[in-house]
Amino acid sequence: GGCGPGGEEDPREQALPVGGVELRPADPPQYQEVPLDEAVTLRVPDVPVRPGQLFSATVLLRHNFTANVLTLRIKVKKGLHVTAARPAQPSLWTAKLDRFKGSKHHTTLITCHRAGTTGPDSSNPLELSEFLWVDFLVENTTSGGVAVTRPVTWQLEYAGQAPEAEKDKMVWEILVSERDIRALVPLAKAEELVNTALLTGEPRRVPVRLVTVDSGGALVEVTEQIGCESANTQVLQVSETCDAVFVSGKESRGARGVRVDFWWRRLRASLRLTVWAPLLPLRVELSDTTLEQVRGWRVPGAAEG
């Protein structure tokens, strides 16, 4: 039906399509979980963070945890701050936060006291549940576009334990980058390699460059702190500096889609190449068994006439 008083829509008010919008589900959050001891586990973000960004780490407890007091000692260097500690169940636990500034690092003590008791729990005693959220703030400083790591030391302390005991200490590194880096991409000048080194003894190589891609599509080459490994060194090898893949003549066969893994910081990527190799011993068949002189060649020492 029409929308106007007379039943007809004013052409000047008609909705006109101006473009399309693609809707895609967001990527699930990336985390890694690291046990601090038998009953306490730390869940931390496994993605780069930006200057000025707030983020949280989660402390998980097993259901059979019986201590009434738990102290978490966190040490951070310049550029990172602990801003808050929030119990997941305030009716059961309280959290007190104390900060101490040092010449090399800042220390935060989070003391958690059990405030109440729970009823009978029929769940698995080894199951983990969220216990505490620790909020961090990255200083809004620039690093010239270079990604830097910020180490965070976590240590659990219980009543009767020496405060600086090495037990239950874990170091977690946060990658801080001004760019919103989304992927690591290896670029090779060829997708196939013929292993003539098995016949000549001369290595064959394909140069490789590693670039990062940010959310705006910008590419930046990375040359330091790179790791790499060939999934099958009997077919293809990778240089120690990760700037080339090669065959040296020591390989035993060829293969399709040989994988070479690269990593930089927390980003990983793979490159796949096809390597062709001759079957040895090499057998040569000639359809014409009559040998003729090759133009431009001569026998050394033969008389020239």
- pLDDT category at 305 given cuts 50, 70, 90 is very low
Q: Which pLDDT score is estimated for 73?
A: 93
Looking at residues 213-235, what average pLDDT do you find? 88
Q: What percent of the chain has pLDDT over 90?
A: 37
Q: Which pLDDT score is estimated for 45?
A: 85
pLDDT tens profile 103-122: 888 899 999 999 877 655 55
pLDDT tens profile 126-135: 788 999 999 9
Give all domains of the chain, ordered by start, each with its CATH number: 31-178 (2.60.40.1510), 182-276 (2.60.40.1080)
pLDDT tens profile 50-94: 888 899 999 999 988 888 999 999 999 888 899 999 999 999 999
Looking at residues 155-159, what average pLDDT do you find? 87
Q: Which pLDDT score is estimated for 98?
A: 94
Q: For the whole model, what pTM was predicted?
A: 0.56
Strand partners, 130: 60
Q: CB count, 10 Å around CB of 106?
A: 16
Rg (CA), the chain: 32
Token couple for 17:
């399509």
Q: What percent of the chain has pLDDT over 70?
A: 79
What distance in Å separates the CA atoms of residue 50 and residue 139, rounded to the nearest whole number? 9
Looking at residues 199-206, what average pLDDT do you find? 90
Residue type, 6: G
Average pLDDT, the chain: 82
DSSP letter (8 states) at residue 61: E
What distance in Å separates the CA atoms of residue 87 and residue 89, rounded to the nearest whole number? 5
- Choose the weakest-confidence range: 26-40, 148-162, 163-177, 260-274: 163-177
- Choose the weakest-confidence range: 176-185, 193-202, 284-293: 284-293
